[in-house]
A and B are shown apart, each in its own frame.
Chain A
């Protein structure tokens, strides 16, 4: 009589323990699965949004692109000036410019710049990247002023100021874009 009741009590306790264990293991696997799914999702999102850091950072590459553009603009103008001969029949196609070594150097810089630019376009919308890349319109006259000691008129300074204000305004949504990624 006593032994039977004790056995029943033990059996019911064992069942309870088993149920608790089952519940805990289910809970654990649920949590673990949630964590692992989240981790996997975050990883794959990083792969999709792909925010490379260091030298591969697209904003740094945009800066490099701007330096390349300033360089090849100056090379092109110098080369075009040296080869300007408007009497030749095909001169309007610009093909006569190929006689100048400066143009060939510019072409090398342009190809380099193209690869950098394509990389930038992979990560940054065109409507943001392109206005920002026009920073060259400020850098060219300022570098002429600093290096070549050219005079800059007040009107030109006003234009430079306008471009800088515009760049700052365009760069703000770019910063927000960076946050969203």
Chain B
């Protein structure tokens, strides 16, 4: 495992998380103003571009590493996305949601470790 693959994994995570946030924002806007809105279309296309990047990076990583090795990082994305949704999208983050999210992540890590 070189520093280069760590960088790739980080970029993969970052593009994935940012894409999800853009999608959610676009759909929030679309339910208020509809799809004929420049902002909605911008957010949606930004999301699609980012998700496409993360898709190809994921493919490149899958060719290199076992799925079970990459899975814990995917588990990490649950924490990051929940946190970002609370911070950037101002979604309500309850204790219950936090504990549930941490348990899911711990479970994903255990599954991939074994």
Contacts and interface: CB of A to CB of B under 8 A. Distances in A.
Contacts, number: 171
A126 B20 contact: yes
Interface in A105-150: 110, 114, 117-118, 121-122, 125-128, 130-131, 134, 137-138, 141
Contacts of A92: 8, 60, 64
Interface stretch (A16-24, A59-67, A83-91): A83-91
- In the A-B complex, the 3 residue pairs with the smallest Cβ-Cβ separation, listed nearest first, are A159-B110, A94-B59, A166-B103
Q: How big is the B interface, by class?
A: 35 or more
18 contacts: A91-B63, A110-B55, A114-B51, A121-B23, A126-B21, A127-B89, A131-B82, A131-B97, A134-B78, A160-B107, A162-B103, A165-B103, A166-B100, A166-B102, A166-B105, A168-B100, A170-B96, A172-B100
Interface residues of A, number: 55
Contact of B113 (A154, A159, A161, A172): A159
B45 interface: no
B85 interface: yes
A130 B58 contact: no
Max chain B Cβ within 10 angstroms of own Cβ: one of A50, A73, A81, A163: A163
Given A114-B51, A130-B78, A163 B107 contact: yes
Contacts of A171: 100
A159 B111 contact: yes
Nearest to A117: B23
Interface string A160-181: 1111111111111100000000
Contacts of A165: 103, 107
Given A94-B56, A127-B86, A134-B104, A163 B111 contact: yes
A170 B56 contact: no
B27 interface: yes
